[in-house]
């Protein structure tokens, strides 16, 4: 990863992107499955896993705790141990979000734990306090220090938990802890994203007792132990959307396989309203916009709404749609920070702290710039920019693909942390790019 941090990409526009992409399993699911697997008494195997930086980071964290991890191609096998280490080393501070998800499971196994401060994309506040409050309600004593979080408990017990917001991470934290707690846990206002359901199904295969209710309730009956299990990850809906947009953005057509239609239904509907036409089968999804793109108003939301991770590629696409488009971000208040990089490339985007394009959200009385007005069609130009996070990174790439000159993108390790071999995939679609040494 250090070598990747020292690299940049040089991109030369080369016309429409055309071809086929077979997406791998979900980046947002694989690392959570790896954490779940360490709770079993027998090894677990996860297949169709993506080759992304977060997998290596998570594997290193588990190995530091004494857990065995084998990675062979797209298959990961996790060998749990009866007494894993209780402290995640400080060297993993700020690398990704996995340490906070380990807090409850490590206390369940060791009665104590320490995890360093979490990291991930800088897109707004991640509600760690939701995790802490939920874990405290299950009998865990928690203290937060300058370098991390320390926790201890005797026997964990079930609890009645209501999340202030349907946070994906907090829901996953409760699931990973409640499965081995004594008694029943009722989680209200839970996140129901496909990746959360996928984690719950994997835990169920391991012997967990988990039920979903229609009013955002998840009920978990704790068990004494979990066994090993095997699962094949479902396709990454974030990656699938990104490559569909890359084709539309460049006037081409990308055919995406490996991601089922039901994981993209809201994304497909959104792109159709912008003028895209689709061909959908059981094996692939492709889109084109031969008649051009039109402006739209879109609001991000929790599932089944328009996913927040889809909005950075969408905003870039809006720059090539005819008219004024509006994007209202309601999940992360700082997710539009990457717009500065796009405006350097000629995108006409203005940010507002009011709620545009939808009803008032929880950021309506803050100073957060969480709404964007995008003017299209914008003529984009090549530039030298630094990528701030995973999804914004892909947006810069596809903007560079239609610019009127070459671009150099720094911080490319963010992109490779979250996308399966993006350099090779984009090259196969016809993009002209090369790796170069980044300037100090």
Cα 343 from chain centre: 24
Residue 95 pLDDT > 90? no
C-alpha 358/C-alpha 350 separation (Å) is 17
Residue 327 pLDDT > 60? yes
Nearest alpha carbon to residue 131 among 112, 147, 144: 144
Q: How does residue 119 score in pLDDT terms, banded at 50, 70 and 90?
A: low
Backbone torsions φ then ψ of 258, nearest 5 degrees: 90, -5
Residue 123 pLDDT > 50? no
pLDDT of residue 1: 44
Name beta bridge partners: 409: 9, 385
H/E run at residue 78: strand 75-79
C-alpha 39/C-alpha 228 separation (Å) is 9
Residue 429 pLDDT > 90? yes
Q: How does residue 121 score in pLDDT terms, banded at 50, 70 and 90?
A: very low
Query: How is residue 41 written in tokens?
Result: 């008494």
Query: How is residue 273 written in tokens?
Result: 């309203």
Residue 335 pLDDT > 60? yes
- Selecting among 54, 121, 236, 301, the annotated active-site residue is 121
Q: Are strands 160-162 and 184-188 parallel, antiparallel or unpaired?
A: parallel
Q: Specify the domain boundaries for CATH 3.65.10.10 within the chain.
A: 2-23+235-437, 27-232
**Cis check: omega of the bond before 104, within 30 degrees of 0:** no
pLDDT of residue 439: 62
Nearest alpha carbon to residue 350 among 373, 323, 367: 373
CATH 3.30.390.30 fits 2-23+235-437, yes or no: no
Q: How does residue 312 score in pLDDT terms, banded at 50, 70 and 90?
A: very high
Residue 126 pLDDT > 50? no
Q: In the predicted model, what is the mean pLDDT of residues 100-107?
A: 95
C-alpha 343/C-alpha 52 separation (Å) is 28
Asked whether 202 and 232 are in contact (CB, 8 A), the reply is: no
Query: How is residue 299 written in tokens?
Result: 């609001």
Q: What is the pLDDT of residues 159-192, one digit of tens each?
A: 999 999 999 999 999 999 999 999 999 999 999 9
Q: In the predicted model, what is the mean pLDDT of residues 276-292?
A: 97
Nearest alpha carbon to residue 385 among 425, 344, 436: 344
C-alpha 289/C-alpha 272 separation (Å) is 9
Q: What is the pLDDT of residues 372-399, one digit of tens each?
A: 999 999 999 999 999 887 767 899 999 9
Query: What is the pTM for the complete model shown?
Result: 0.92
Q: What is the mean pLDDT of the chain?
A: 93
> Which of 61-75, 110-124, 346-360 bottoms out in mean pLDDT, i.e. has the lowest?
110-124
Q: In the predicted model, what is the mean pLDDT of residues 231-245?
A: 97
Q: What is the pLDDT of residues 145-166, one digit of tens each?
A: 888 999 999 899 999 999 999 9
Q: In the predicted model, what is the mean pLDDT of residues 16-36?
A: 96
pLDDT of residue 333: 87
Residue 353 annotated as catalytic: no
C-alpha 105/C-alpha 206 separation (Å) is 14
Query: How is residue 202 written in tokens?
Result: 């994997």
pLDDT of residue 331: 92
Q: In the predicted model, what is the mean pLDDT of residues 47-53?
A: 95
Query: How is residue 357 written in tokens?
Result: 């394009």
- % of the chain beyond a pLDDT of 90: 85
Query: How is residue 45 written in tokens?
Result: 């195997």
How is domain 27-232 classified at the CATH fold level? Answer: UDP-n-acetylglucosamine1-carboxyvinyl-transferase; Chain (3.65.10)
Which residue has tokens 């006409």? 348
């Amino acid at each position: 990863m250090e070598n990747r941090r020292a690299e940049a990409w040089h991109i030369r526009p080369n016309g429409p992107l055309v071809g086929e992409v077979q997406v791998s399993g979900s980046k947002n699911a694989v690392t959570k499955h790896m954490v779940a697997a360490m709770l079993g008494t027998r090894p677990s195997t996860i297949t169709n896993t993506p080759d992304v930086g977060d997998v290596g980071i998570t594997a290193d964290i588990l190995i530091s705790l004494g857990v065995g991890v084998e990675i062979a191609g797209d298959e990961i096998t996790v060998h749990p141990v009866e007494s894993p280490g209780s402290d995640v080393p400080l060297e993993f501070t700020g690398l990704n979000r996995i340490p906070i998800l380990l807090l409850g499971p490590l206390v369940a196994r060791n009665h104590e734990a320490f995890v360093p401060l979490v990291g991930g994309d800088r897109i707004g506040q991640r509600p760690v306090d939701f995790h802490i409050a939920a874990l405290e309600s299950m009998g865990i004593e928690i203290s937060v220090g300058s370098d991390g979080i320390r926790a201890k408990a005797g026997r964990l017990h079930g609890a009645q938990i209501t999340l202030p917001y349907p946070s994906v991470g907090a829901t996953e934290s409760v699931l990973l802890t409640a499965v081995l707690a004594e008694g029943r846990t009722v989680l209200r206002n839970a996140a129901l994203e496909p990746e959360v359901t996928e984690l719950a199904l994997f835990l169920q295969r391991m012997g967990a007792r988990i039920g979903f209710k229609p009013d955002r309730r998840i009920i978990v009956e704790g068990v004494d132990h979990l066994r090993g299990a095997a699962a094949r990850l479902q396709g990454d809906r974030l990656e699938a959307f990104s490559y569909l947009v890359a084709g539309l953005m460049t006037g081409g057509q990308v055919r995406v396989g490996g991601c089922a239609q039901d994981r993209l239904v809201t994304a497909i509907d959104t792109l159709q309203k912008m003028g895209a036409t689709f061909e959908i089968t059981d094996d692939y999804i492709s889109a084109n916009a031969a008649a051009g793109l039109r402006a739209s108003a879109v609001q991000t939301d929790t599932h089944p709404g328009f996913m927040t991770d889809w909005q950075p590629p969408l905003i870039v696409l809006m720059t090539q749609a005819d008219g004024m488009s509006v994007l209202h971000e309601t999940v992360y208040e700082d997710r539009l920070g990457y717009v500065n990089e796009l405006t350097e490339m000629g995108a006409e985007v203005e940010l507002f702290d009011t709620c545009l394009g939808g009803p008032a959200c929880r950021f309506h009385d803050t100073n957060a710039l969480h709404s964007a007005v995008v003017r299209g069609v914008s003529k984009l130009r090549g530039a030298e920019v630094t990528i701030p996070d995973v999804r914004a990174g892909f947006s810069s790439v596809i903007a560079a693909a239609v610019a009127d000159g070459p671009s150099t993108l720094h911080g490319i390790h963010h992109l490779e942390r979250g996308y399966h071999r993006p350099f090779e995939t984009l090259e196969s679609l016809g993009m002209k790019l090369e790796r170069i040494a980044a300037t100090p």
